[in-house]
């Protein structure tokens, strides 16, 4: 029995499924920073904890699984936490792109990135102004120290990264306390905010 309406409906349905499948990856958030699964705009110990909590303790799924895939192998697993620890504390390899600035995943995978708010907007800030109050002073060095040791949130990772090496660490605090207090302010774009 031949039913033209059923055939037309079936063709339209299959075409719409194919279109939906091809657009699926395009509907995901495009920009993120690899190695920052908690989405606070910087890579630190809290990202390792976030990944391990998700993997082994039933913690919440990161809004951007691509950001949690620190080694960019297409799977979020224990090696991502180890990769980040090596990068932070042992001079290990830097995270693959996109890092240290926002960008898109260059290798296709099944992870995706539904939400990563630090890449949503930008604002001009002064390099070294870790607390975003418009002044580079001793408070900024202390903010960075507290960020590194206790996971204190930063208002802008780009501003706190005073030596512009892509990571916020004690070296930035030392540079701020020793040099930037008397230096001429340098403006940077803050694409990564907490």
Q: How many domains is the chain built from?
A: 2
Taking alpha carbons only, the member of 152, 149, 176 closest to residue 163 is 176
pLDDT per residue over 50-77, tens digit each?
999 999 999 999 989 999 999 999 999 9
Q: What percent of the chain has pLDDT over 90?
A: 23
Last residue of some domain: 100, 117, 134?
117
Q: What is the mean pLDDT of the chain?
A: 76
d(CA 150, CA 45): 9
Q: How confident is the model at residue 182 (pLDDT cuts 50, 70, 90)?
A: low
133-179: pLDDT as tens digits: 767 778 888 888 888 888 888 877 778 888 878 788 888 888 877 76
Domain assignment present for residue 23? The answer is no
CATH of the domain at 180: 1.10.1330.10
pTM reported for the whole predicted model = 0.53
Lowest mean pLDDT among 7-11, 17-21, 180-184: 17-21
User: In terms of domains, do 185 and 125 share one?
Assistant: yes
Closest CA to 37 of 53, 58, 51: 51
- On whether residue 103 sits in a domain, the answer given is yes
- Whether 139 and 89 map to the same domain: the answer is no
Residue 121 confidence (pLDDT):
63
Cα(164)–Cα(158) distance, rounded to whole angstroms?
A: 8
Let me know whether 131 and 167 are in one domain: yes
* Domain range for 143: 121-190
Question: Domain for residue 109, yes or no?
Answer: yes
Residue at a domain's end among 67, 94, 117 = 117
Provide DSSP, 139-175. Answer: HHHHHHHHHHHH-PPPS-HHHH-TT-SSS-SHHHHHH
Residue 67 gets the label, from left (phi > 0), alpha (psi -120 to 50) or beta, of alpha
């Amino acid at each position: 029995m031949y039913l033209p309406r059923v055939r037309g409906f079936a063709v339209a349905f299959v075409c719409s499924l194919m279109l939906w499948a091809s657009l699926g990856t395009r509907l995901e958030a495009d920009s993120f920073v690899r190695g920052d699964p908690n989405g606070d705009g910087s890579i630190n110990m809290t990202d390792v904890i976030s990944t391990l909590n998700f993997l082994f303790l039933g913690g919440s799924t990161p809004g951007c699984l691509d950001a949690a895939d620190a080694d960019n192998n297409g799977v979020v697993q224990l090696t991502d936490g180890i990769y980040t620890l090596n990068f932070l504390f042992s001079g290990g390899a830097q995270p693959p792109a996109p890092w240290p600035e926002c960008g898109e995943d260059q290798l296709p995978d099944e992870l995706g990135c539904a939400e990563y708010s630090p890449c949503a907007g930008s604002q001009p800030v002064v390099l070294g102004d870790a607390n975003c109050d418009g002044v580079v002073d001793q408070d900024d060095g202390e903010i960075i120290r507290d960020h590194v040791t206790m996971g204190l949130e930063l208002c802008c990772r780009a501003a706190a990264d005073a030596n512009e090496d892509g990571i916020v660490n004690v070296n930035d605090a030392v540079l701020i306390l020793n040099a930037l207090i008397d230096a001429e302010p340098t403006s940077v774009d803050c694409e990564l905010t907490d």
